[in-house]
Amino acid sequence: MARDSGIISWGAYVPRYRLKAEEIVYLWGWDPNIPRNLNVTEKAVENVDEDSITMGFEAAYNAILRAGINPKRIGAVFFGTESKPYAVKPSATVIAEALGVTPVTMASDLEFACRAASEGLRSALALVESKYIEYGLVIGSDTAQANPGDVLEYTASSGAVAFIVGPAKEAVAILEGVYTYVTDTPDFWRRGLSPYPKHGEAFTGEPAYFSHIEGAVRGLMESLGLKPDDFDYAVFHQPNGTFPLRVGRRLGFPKEKILPGLVTPLIGNTYNASALIGFARVLEQARPGQRILVAPFGSGAGSDAYSFVVTDRVDELRDKAPRVDDYINAKKYVSYAVHAKMRGLYRRIAN
Amino acid sequence: MRLSPAQIWRTRIPRYRLLGKECKKCGRRHYPPRPACPYCGSRELVEVELPRTGVIESFTVIYTVMEGFKDRAPLIIATVKLDDGTRVVAPITDAEPEDVRTGMRVEAVLRRIRDDGSYGLIGYGTAFRPTILVHKTS
Ligand SMILES: [Zn+2]
């Protein structure tokens, strides 16, 4: 039973620069097998003039371009990130202003580790269904941080994704159901004045990632009376290239349904854009009538499982803006030293 | 570089959206927006959102940069002729000097143009990058 809301359009952004995993192996003297064990080869890194706002803007610009709607009809802009350029001062208003959505709109930055944008998506869909807004814009964008020398460095990457949500009759993918599952689980955190997050190593797996995604996906399938066979694609949060395949196996989803939305092996984990950029990539190949499972996860911890059914409109919109793979393929490698400069990791003194 | 809230706020719309002005008298467009037409002096101007693509007409590579821009050196600054003929002076990003040539197609992107240290404001604005997305419309 479909609900009266869905995805109207999508847009993605991946920065041009890539850092190879082997550079990190060499610099910090890691076991050379680590990238293979994590199923990652390289990650996308931002240029010196980029941040989560500029990347989120481009993803959102692409979503509006693809939809062909007047930005003034957007009634909510939700920005999910854990790499805010300002600790206090909303990023959502900068993007809303740059897109021409302002001034009559809701706008806020959300925080729930990697799951903030997904909470924004659920909220925006609900605002559409309750007729508070006509369209909502949801953005997930991160320049993910990792302590230099931490294993997190192999995956923490940069990228953004955006969705316009609206009424089901205009949707490329209609919302069929959503199920949220959260608990207080200390698997990954960053205190206010700390530049880098800390994490519970192995604790990030079983009690955090697996238990919450499985809780949300099982709850969704039970509430809709669906089983893994009913889905054509399954997209999970992807902190590395192996966890999504493993959680899929445990839930009964074969590898073939997961691989189309698995982008972390190519660009790293883009945090708030992680599963959602995978969802965008799936929309770029899905056929009308197909059913997509999307399950983002955020530390701390929680997961939302969504079921979407693709409509005929997807074929009309696919080529109206750059695709995820256009960005994945447009790349240039940088050394660790150049990446460190672009990130401001060197301590200089003023002349 | 010291950035005042008033300065950031006043120029944000033209900087973010590449909003220029069109002269109602001579029909020509200019950027950034000024109170009078630079071609005929008329004050009868309307705001216009400029096209986000164009070609590099000329460019210069700045190796000796002001303090605060060292991490961006060398800076590439270009005159971009937009598809409607309007000329815009802006930084070229996501490109190294050896990649850049006159006549190259570029597209507008929102970037951090200026930055007031770690505690001050960030000045967002328009830069151009080589049109890298070979996007098939089949
Ligand atoms: Zn004039």
Question: Average of pLDDT values for B8-35?
Answer: 96
The span from the CA of B34 to the CA of B43, in Å, is 9
B46 inside domain: yes
Which residue does chain A place closest to B109, by CA atoms?
A: A58
* Domain around B97: 5-130
The span from the CA of B81 to the CA of B48, in Å, is 16
Annotated active-site residue A339? The verdict is: no
ipTM above 0.90?
yes
Q: Is the pLDDT of residue A151 over 90?
A: yes
In Å, how far is A341's CA from the nearest CA of chain B?
Answer: 6
Question: Six-digit token pair at B62?
Answer: 């700045």
The span from the CA of B121 to the CA of B15, in Å, is 15
The span from the CA of A46 to the CA of B125, in Å, is 17
For A331-349, the pLDDT digits (tens) are 999 999 999 999 999 998 8
pTM of the model: 0.97
| CATH class of the domain whose range is A176-310 | alpha beta
Interface touch A47/B93, C-beta < 8 Å: yes
Q: One of A42, A50, A82, A153 is an active-site residue; which one? A: A82
| Eight-state DSSP code of residue B51 | P
Q: Is the pLDDT of residue A329 over 90?
A: yes
B138 inside domain: no
Interface touch B113/A49, C-beta < 8 Å: yes
B104 inside domain: yes
Q: Does B124 touch chain A (CB under 8 A)?
A: yes
For A3-49, the pLDDT digits (tens) are 899 999 999 999 999 999 999 999 999 999 999 999 999 999 999 99
Boundaries of every domain in chain A: 6-172+322-343, 176-310
Which residue does chain A place closest to B68, by CA atoms?
A: A350
Q: Is the pLDDT of residue A350 over 80?
A: no
Integer angstrom CA distances of residue A155 from A47, A343, B8: 17, 16, 35
Task: Give the one of B16, B70, B127 whose C-beta lies nearest to A348's C-beta.
Answer: B70
Question: Six-digit token pair at A4?
Answer: 């009266």
* Whether domain A6-172+322-343 has CATH 3.40.50.2300: no
Q: Which amino acid is at A246?
A: R
pLDDT computed for residue B133 by the predictor = 64
DSSP code per residue over B62-105: E-S--TT-GGGPSEEEEEEEETTS-EEEEEB-S--GGG--TT-E
The span from the CA of A129 to the CA of A312, in Å, is 21
Interface touch B133/A330, C-beta < 8 Å: yes
Interface touch B132/A97, C-beta < 8 Å: no
Interface touch A50/B70, C-beta < 8 Å: no
For A279-314, the pLDDT digits (tens) are 999 999 999 999 999 999 999 999 999 999 999 999
Interface touch B138/A319, C-beta < 8 Å: yes
In Å, how far is A155's CA from the nearest CA of chain B?
Answer: 22
Find the B18 Cα to ligand 1 centroid distance in Å: 19
Which residue does chain A place closest to B122, by CA atoms?
A: A85
Find the B128 Cα to ligand 1 centroid distance in Å: 26
Question: Average of pLDDT values for A173-192?
Answer: 96
B135 inside domain: no
B36 inside domain: yes
Cβ(A211)–Cβ(A244) below 8 Å: no
Per-residue confidence band for A202, with pLDDT thresholds at 50, 70 and 90: confident
The span from the CA of A63 to the CA of A69, in Å, is 9
In Å, how far is A173's CA from the nearest CA of chain B?
Answer: 21
B136 inside domain: no
Find the B31 Cα to ligand 1 centroid distance in Å: 13
Question: Six-digit token pair at A209?
Answer: 């990632």
Question: Average of pLDDT values for A169-173?
Answer: 98
For A44-70, the pLDDT digits (tens) are 999 999 999 999 999 999 999 999 999
Find the B48 Cα to ligand 1 centroid distance in Å: 14
Domains A6-172+322-343 and A176-310 are alike in CATH topology: yes
Per-residue confidence band for A268, with pLDDT thresholds at 50, 70 and 90: very high
Per-residue confidence band for B138, with pLDDT thresholds at 50, 70 and 90: very low
